[in-house]
Amino acid sequence: MKSLDDVLQGVDAALDDSLARLFELLRFPTVATDPAYHGACRDAAAWLKGLLADMGFEARIEATTGQPVIVAEYAPKDLPSHAPRILFYGHYDVQPADPLELWESPPFEPRLRKGADGETRIFARGACDDKGQLMTFLEASRAWLKARGSLPFRLTVLLEGDEEGDSTHLDRYVAKNRTRLKADVAFICDTGMWDAKTPAITTRLRGCISEEIVISGPSKDLHSGLYGGPARNPIRVLTKILGDLHDRNGRVAIPGFYDGVDPVPLATRRQWKSLKFPEKKYLKGVGLSIPAGEKGYAVHEQMWSRPTAEINGVYSGYTGAGSKTVLPAQAMAKLSFRLVGRQAPARIRKGLREFVKARLPADCKVRYKSEGGDSMAVTVSESSPWVRLAQAALKDEWKKEPVLMADGASIPVVGTFKSLLGVDTLLVGFGLEDDSVHSPNEKYNLSSFRKGIRSWTRIIAGIAEQQGRGKS
Ligand SMILES: [Zn+2]
């Protein structure tokens, strides 16, 4: 049997072929949110199905209410009964490429360019998010299969095409296919490293809900000379409510808002502290210098472990040139909340509505326009055996202890896997802060791609080794 070193050498020897396959995938302009590209999405799905079938998986394309998903199953016959079942998830859709004129090379014609720092980078829309990343796992599986003949686990690969758009399509698909997607753990490669030399495992993601509030008062816009004084002004009602949302310490004032927010374990706080998050630089990058937000929490703690209430838009009244002495009939605000821990989206929404109701004058009305797409926060136990296994594998590859990171953003599918399948997710990714995902000139470092494949190869080796131990 080939040793792990042999398999890794195989990865390196086949790197050009792996890159050629990634380039083929990158050439499909899979902008799923634009109907003009739906043909390209179908073509990419067919290509991915072919790729997975070629690896010996039973692959098929399945319709959803959005773009098709590719599902590939792999179950080697001679696998011991205690071998795990793994669900690997990735997305083949990409963000729109505009503005096109800012790209140094066309977004769907992948190019390799070597920087002044000696690092070679893959430039294309999707190079990192998520085509480059998902291919690291698939190429590792391919290399392992070539060297060892079979993977040490049952595997279901699920690739979707609506991640950048409407995540409810996949939610519906998962809800309908619960039994088939059941797994012991999900693997996702769609997150980042701590820096170019330090790998990371993401163990916390914030959830998110949005809400639009419409306050109405008078039945029509009024003249402030005639009604200014006696008439209720919805802008004043709304801004008073918005002003009350936070107390003087930056805490959200909605009663019960912090229910389900657990303190971060001491060991995690220590590790975060040791990372020396560059607060000043982080704020300076966006023209700020003084941390706002909840008092008593550092910038990284606020982003990684604290919930927020944000006002994303406010509109009402006259905003054109010159002045108009109007009392508007309505005032609107768009709000969103980032959630952590066990904060339940439905309860937060209810709390907000009660908060508004308590401040609403008797002759005003309130309406809500909810967009849906609620997601709960996700926390993966840092002592989970999968996290431990990945930690060891990443350390071997990068010669550096991986950081257990949190991400202030949301990856709704992780919550879907948890709530619908009861499955925890291992989030290992090789993206870097300067990858320009969602921006012009998106790139993925060649070293992220190569060492990403090697990292997954080591994770596969770790699973094989566990099985060896399980048998004896
Ligand atoms: Zn992504």
The CATH number of whichever domain residue 461 belongs to comes to 3.40.630.10
Ligand 1 centroid–CA 121 distance in Å is 18
Pick from 370, 393, 408: which residue ends a domain? 370
Ligand 1 centroid–CA 448 distance in Å is 15
Between CA 259 and CA 269, with CA 264 as vertex, the angle to 5 degrees is 155
Hey, is 311 helix, strand or coil?
strand
Ligand 1 centroid–CA 158 distance in Å is 14
Report which residue type is found at 351. G
Low-confidence ranges of the chain (pLDDT < 50): 471-472
Contact in structure between 146 and 73 (CB atoms under 8 Å): no
Ligand 1 centroid–CA 129 distance in Å is 5
Question: Does the residue 83 lie in any domain?
Answer: yes
Residue-level pLDDT at 470: 56
Total count of domains within the chain: 2
Question: Does the residue 184 lie in any domain?
Answer: yes
Residue 213 and residue 191 share a domain: no
Ligand 1 centroid–CA 126 distance in Å is 9
Ligand 1 centroid–CA 208 distance in Å is 16
Q: Which domain holds residue 314?
A: 207-261+307-370
Ligand 1 centroid–CA 438 distance in Å is 9
Ligand 1 centroid–CA 190 distance in Å is 5
Rg from Cα positions in the chain: 25
Question: Does the residue 285 lie in any domain?
Answer: no
Ligand 1 centroid–CA 295 distance in Å is 32
Ligand 1 centroid–CA 88 distance in Å is 14
Residue-level pLDDT at 383: 87
Residue 220 and residue 366 share a domain: yes
Residue-level pLDDT at 453: 98
Pick from 370, 390, 408: which residue ends a domain? 370
Residue 312 and residue 194 share a domain: no
Residue-level pLDDT at 434: 92
Ligand 1 centroid–CA 366 distance in Å is 36
Q: Which two structure tokens, joined as six digits, stand for 227?
A: 């009604």
Contact in structure between 109 and 103 (CB atoms under 8 Å): no
Residue 230 and residue 154 share a domain: no
Residue-level pLDDT at 471: 47
Ligand 1 centroid–CA 83 distance in Å is 29
Residue 101 and residue 90 share a domain: yes
Ligand 1 centroid–CA 362 distance in Å is 46
Ligand 1 centroid–CA 61 distance in Å is 20
Question: Does the residue 315 lie in any domain?
Answer: yes
Task: Report the C-alpha dihedral over residues 46, 67, 412, 192, rounded to 10 degrees.
Answer: 40
Q: Where are the alpha helices (DSSP H) in 399-445?
A: 412-416
Instruction: Tell which residue, 430, 425, 436, 427, has the closest CA to residue 453.
Output: 430
Ligand 1 centroid–CA 130 distance in Å is 5
- Other CB atoms within a 10 A radius of the CB of residue 391 amount to 19
Question: Does the residue 345 lie in any domain?
Answer: yes
Q: Is the dihedral of CA 188, 192, 196, 197 positive or negative?
A: negative
Ligand 1 centroid–CA 18 distance in Å is 20
- Other CB atoms within a 10 A radius of the CB of residue 414 amount to 26
Residue 328 and residue 216 share a domain: yes
Residue 211 and residue 184 share a domain: no
394 backbone dihedrals φ, ψ, rounded to 5°:
-65, -35
Residue-level pLDDT at 376: 87
Pick from 350, 370, 390: which residue ends a domain? 370
Question: Does the residue 289 lie in any domain?
Answer: no
This prediction's pTM: 0.86
Ligand 1 centroid–CA 416 distance in Å is 15
Ligand 1 centroid–CA 255 distance in Å is 35
Ligand 1 centroid–CA 65 distance in Å is 20
Ligand 1 centroid–CA 94 distance in Å is 8
pLDDT in tens, 116-149: 999 999 999 999 999 999 999 999 999 999 999 9
